[in-house]
Amino acid sequence: MQFARLPRLRLAGLPTPLEEATRLERLFPGTRLFLKRDDLTHPALGGNKARKLEFLLADARRQGADVVLTVGGPQSNHARITAALSARLGWECILVLEGAEPPEAQGNLLIDRLLGADVRFAGARPAQEVMEEIAAGLEAQGRRPYAIPVGGSTPLGAVGYCLAMEEMLAQASDAGVVVHRVYVATGSGGTQAGLVLGARVLDPSLRVTGVSVSRSAEESRSRVAELATGAASLLGLPVRVEAARVEVLDGYVGPGYGVPTPGCLEAIRLLAREEGVLLDPVYTGKAMACLLDHLRRGVIGEGENVVFWHTGGAPALFAYSQELEV
Ligand SMILES: Cc1ncc(COP(=O)(O)O)c(C=O)c1O
């Protein structure tokens, strides 16, 4: 497939491995299970956002930016990776995190500070609004700020995941494996959007299931569709992705974003003990809880090959030591 070439900074360690989860497979005979290890994208403990930031930060450079801003929760993986890549590029990085400053800097927040990011808290105000205000102030001082919305989920960010789908399908094909299904955690939607678009143009029979960690299925589906259609237009693809053709499940969110469910905690322990792989309590634990549930209930058919897209997030484990106590 010919994609339009967009400016890209090669900042992630790609390709990431596609690994067969052979010990996990023994628990579910008849299904081959693979892990796409985007937890190993490299910058400061890795994760999915590095693929989006290769395009977003190239755009920032093209615009002559000298300071990068973004938003997220105190345990935002996106904020951590943005801070790491800004450090690598020698750019100032301002992170506007939601809510009040937690009493202890743990996990991602600890790493944000180590990376030299200027960390601020939005308090009761929406973080996006605070970020825009800071960016406007910087502009008034003659600086060139580049503000990235939550999760780096813009059409340009999603482009990184369309190419990731191409990468994974090439790896599977080299291994002689036909992939029938992909499972991925869905938050701000850019990751699934890129994967959905990639599947649509490269292998329309491949089913991409997004497991929401926060929003309703309906809201997620339309966000994903909109981002995928926007990414298609940037890539010069005459494709319109309809929300009705996007699959997002919202039955695994539990009490809310960032609150681990029993299924999530079980999934984290199972993958750690069976595969030596660390999931996280906010995203991948919930997505894996869905996959395990589908395997147990026979939602996944005999002979189907499944890729679980490991989007990273393990640094947040340290902020959840009480919930994870064994
Ligand atoms: C570890 C991890 N997995 C999945 C996601 C979800 O990606 P997206 O926001 O593109 O839906 C995020 C987003 O922050 C993340 O940090």
Q: Is the peptide bond before 15 cis (omega within 30 degrees of 0)?
A: yes
pLDDT tens digits, 187-215: 999 999 999 999 999 999 999 999 999 99
Long-range contacts of residues 59-63, Cβ cutoff 8 Å, at least 24 apart: 59/7, 59/146, 59/156, 60/91, 60/146, 61/7, 61/9, 61/89, 62/7, 63/144, 63/146
Q: Return phi, psi of residue 116, to 5°.
A: 85, 15
Q: What spacing in Å lies between the alpha carbon of 141 and ligand 1's midpoint?
A: 33
Can 76 be counted among the known catalytic residues? yes
Pocket test for ligand 1, best of 38, 52, 188 (most atoms within 8 A of CB): 188
The pLDDT confidence band at residue 313, using thresholds 50, 70 and 90, is: very high
* Tokens found for residue 291: 């996959």
pLDDT at 4: 79
pLDDT at 207: 98
The pLDDT confidence band at residue 326, using thresholds 50, 70 and 90, is: low
Q: Is the CB of 77 under 6 A from ligand 1?
A: yes
Residue 2, pLDDT > 80, answer no
CA distance 82 to 150: 11
Half-sphere exposure of 172 (CA within 13 A, CB side): 24
Q: Is the CB of 189 under 6 A from ligand 1?
A: yes
CA dihedral 34→39→43→44, nearest 10 degrees, is -150
Please give the number of the atom of ligand 1 that sits closest to the Cα of 47.
1
| Nearest-10 crossing angle of helices 77-89, 49-62 | 40
Q: Please say whether the beta carbons of 75 and 23 come within 8 A.
A: no
Q: In what order do the strands lie in the sheet with 145-148?
A: 118-121, 92-97, 67-72, 145-148
Q: What spacing in Å lies between the alpha carbon of 17 and ligand 1's midpoint?
A: 19
pLDDT tens digits, 253-308: 999 999 999 999 999 999 999 999 999 999 999 999 999 999 999 999 899 999 99
> Exposed (0-12), middle (13-18) or buried (19+): which is 212, by Cβ within 10 Å?
buried
Could you please report the per-residue DSSP string of 53-82? Answer: HHHHHHHHHHTT-SEEEEEE-TT-HHHHHH
Strands (E), the chain: 18-20, 32-37, 67-72, 92-97, 118-121, 145-148, 181-186, 207-212, 247-249, 305-310
CA distance 165 to 184: 12
CA distance 190 to 158: 5
Q: Is the CB of 73 under 6 A from ligand 1?
A: no
Q: Is the CB of 285 under 6 A from ligand 1?
A: no
Q: Which residues pair with 97 in a beta bridge?
A: 72, 121
Q: Which domains does the chain have, with CATH numbers?
A: 18-48+154-324 (3.40.50.1100), 49-151 (3.40.50.1100)
* Tokens found for residue 80: 């951590």
pLDDT tens digits, 131-188: 999 999 999 999 999 999 999 999 999 999 999 999 999 999 999 999 999 999 999 9
Q: Is the CB of 108 under 6 A from ligand 1?
A: no
